[in-house]
Amino acid sequence: MESDFLVIGSGIAGLSFALKCAELGSVVVVTKKKDVDTATNLAQGGIAAVLERDDSMQSHVEDTVVAGAGLCDAEVVRLVVESGPKRVRELVALGVDFVRDQESSSGYSLGREGGHSHRRVAHAYDLTGREIERALLEKVRNHSQIRLLEEHIVIDLLMVEGELEGWHGGEGKRCVGAYVMEGGVVETYRAKITALCSGGAGKVYLYTTNPDIATGDGLAMAFRAGAEMANMEFVQFHPTCLYHPQEKNFLISEAVRGEGAILVGADNVPFMEKYDPRKDLATRDTVARAIDKELKETGEDCVYLDITHRDPEYLKKRFPTIYQRCLSRGIDITSQRIPVVPAAHYMCGGVKTDQQGRTTIPGLMALGETAWTGLHGGNRLASNSLLEAVVFADCAARYCRSVWPQLQEKKVPDVDEWQRGEARKMSEEILINHNWDAIRRLMWNYVGIVRSLKRLALAKERMAAIYDEIDQHYRDYIITPNMVELRNISLISLLIIQSAMERKESRGLHYLIDFPEKNADCRQTRFCKKKNGRKWEIEMIEEINR
Ligand code: SIN
């Protein structure tokens, strides 16, 4: 398979980039399950942008920076915030039906979420992600230059010797596509530009709001190929995931708190005022940690979100999915409290990119949750992720357009076919399934919302052993999608653990009981990459104050 662009992932970042690059050349989008199996599709809240007359760019910038706990890249924040309104209007032009409100100066009904000092979240009730995914997929499916391939899982990047003019890094190597497996067969998919848009890694943790696809594939592949990574210790836990034995990952949107819901304990007493003057609309790091503390102190299994004081008809209209889903579990949100717990939600670190979406490997871009752009810092502001994805998809496509006259003529070099070697079929699937559980439990208990150096050290030792075992299976047996994902989550777990051990302070989403305070002299973003000749060990390569 050969194309001009290979896009890995079919969420908002991948589809937006694909549509823009299809104006230049042929695009192949691969996705490992169905096209709609993305984190985008599950996003409820919406997309933050300055749309109202009484809001301002400065205010959105400040809210982002405050949430980011001193680690946001100021230039990137401004770039993203200032591009916001244009990108939202572009989504509307592509067919996204955000809820309107003729009374407001923007013409849209805007929601509010934690950390925002204004209503600025454009939404499609609590189905915003699904609406965006629907509109983008419709365009992509009907585009003659784009092939969208489902059930195609990417195993690793294709790397060759060589450079790309004006794109530094890679130590003499560049990316020319990926090994892709479909139905047990691995093929080479060659491309001039490869874009990792495969989302985050919530499946690293036992409890997550993420879909099953979130196994950090793009992050792991980039790391193995030698890309620089940033801030992998900053994993965002969403404070309110529905707590119910039959529910795996159902989010109760922060927009519910934006519309007045209050967190209470089993005793019905609100508790957020003890933790933050912004109470229930504090940023997510604060709220998730407060819930964690309440649960540990009271020994209860969950806390509750109470919105019963709002008009039932309004709630049914504003949150149709949440209302129906809770009702199907016997909880009527108009008259009953919603049981909730925090769950892993978003990876704020990622593959380091510049303002054009370029990683440190020539030919390889990263967008959306897979990327670290500098926007989120130590804690992402609610509803800034869909925004970041569309803004950087646009920046990356503009870069491609600028170099297309030179790149278009270049031939993609031949690469070695996938070698199956002596690998045989694995007869004991339990070897895989056991480790899925072991990894996710270990990460939840030892590397969760509140960390300690002791637990991190133990986690590292155990995870390294698990990784080595999986890596051996990977070599001995014919690979399966399950094995590919397991190898990736064990690697990403190790990156989170090692990065967490390096940051000896508490800041944003990273809370270490051994160092409970921010280190004022250490406003550093940390970059790392694979240590030479090692499989998972990291080497810190640069620390910057922005
Ligand atoms: C939510 O609706 O609470 C999630 C939105 C986000 O993650 O930004």
For the chain, percent helix, then strand, then coil, each to nearest 5?
40, 20, 40
Q: Which amino acid is located at 458 in the chain?
A: L
> Please, which residues bridge with residue 424 across strands?
477
**Is 542 inside a domain boundary?**
no
User: What pLDDT score was predicted for residue 546?
Assistant: 62
**Is 421 inside a domain boundary?**
no
Q: Which atom of ligand 1 is nearest to the CA of 254?
A: 3
Note whether 362 and 460 are same-domain residues.
no
**Is 266 inside a domain boundary?**
yes
Note whether 326 and 296 are same-domain residues.
yes
Where in the sequence is the domain holding 315, given as residue range(s)? 242-342
User: What pLDDT score was predicted for residue 426?
Assistant: 79
**Is 236 inside a domain boundary?**
no
Q: Which atom of ligand 1 is nearest to the CA of 386?
A: 8
**Is 353 inside a domain boundary?**
yes
Note whether 89 and 136 are same-domain residues.
yes
Average the pLDDT over 461-483 and give the result: 93
Answer yes or no: are the C-beta atoms of 209 and 238 closer than 8 Å: yes
Where residue 175 sits, what CATH number does that domain have? Answer: 3.50.50.60
Average the pLDDT over 96-124 and give the result: 95
CA distance 85 to 110: 13
Q: Is the shortest distance between the CB of 109 and ligand 1 below 6 Å? A: no
CA distance 96 to 40: 13
**Is 546 inside a domain boundary?**
no
Note whether 140 and 19 are same-domain residues.
yes
Note whether 371 and 311 are same-domain residues.
no
Per-residue pLDDT of 9-44, as tens digits, reads: 999 999 999 999 999 999 999 999 888 889 989 889
Q: Is the shortest distance between the CB of 385 and ligand 1 below 6 Å? A: yes
Centroid of ligand 1 to alpha carbon of 319 (angstroms): 13
Residue 320 burial (CB count, 10 A): 13
Answer yes or no: are the C-beta atoms of 57 and 356 closer than 8 Å: no
CA angle (35, 40, 43) in 5-degree steps = 135
Number of domains within the chain: 3
Note whether 434 and 383 are same-domain residues.
no
Centroid of ligand 1 to alpha carbon of 144 (angstroms): 33
Note whether 296 and 353 are same-domain residues.
no
In angstroms, what CA-CA distances link 203 with 30, 97, 156, 206, 485? 20, 30, 19, 7, 10
Q: Is the shortest distance between the CB of 383 and ligand 1 below 6 Å? A: yes
Where residue 247 sits, what CATH number does that domain have? Answer: 3.90.700.10
Q: Is the shortest distance between the CB of 344 and ligand 1 below 6 Å? A: no
**Is 423 inside a domain boundary?**
no
CA distance 455 to 24: 50
Note whether 122 and 92 are same-domain residues.
yes
Per-residue pLDDT of 398-435, as tens digits, reads: 999 999 999 999 899 999 898 877 778 877 878 888 99
Note whether 459 and 477 are same-domain residues.
yes
Note whether 132 and 221 are same-domain residues.
yes
Note whether 277 and 301 are same-domain residues.
yes
Centroid of ligand 1 to alpha carbon of 441 (angstroms): 24
Query: Mutation test of ligand 1: which of 41, 113, 237, 347 has the most ligand atoms closer than 8 Å to its C-beta?
Result: 113
Residue 309 burial (CB count, 10 A): 8
Centroid of ligand 1 to alpha carbon of 543 (angstroms): 30
Per-residue pLDDT of 209-267, as tens digits, reads: 999 999 999 999 999 999 999 999 999 999 999 999 999 889 999 999 999 999 999 99
Please indicate whether residue 284 is annotated as part of the active site: yes
**Is 307 inside a domain boundary?**
yes
Query: Mutation test of ligand 1: which of 254, 263, 388 has the most ligand atoms closer than 8 Å to its C-beta?
Result: 254
Note whether 364 and 318 are same-domain residues.
no
CA distance 3 to 7: 10
Query: Would the CA dihedral through 505, 511, 514, 515 be positive or negative?
Result: positive
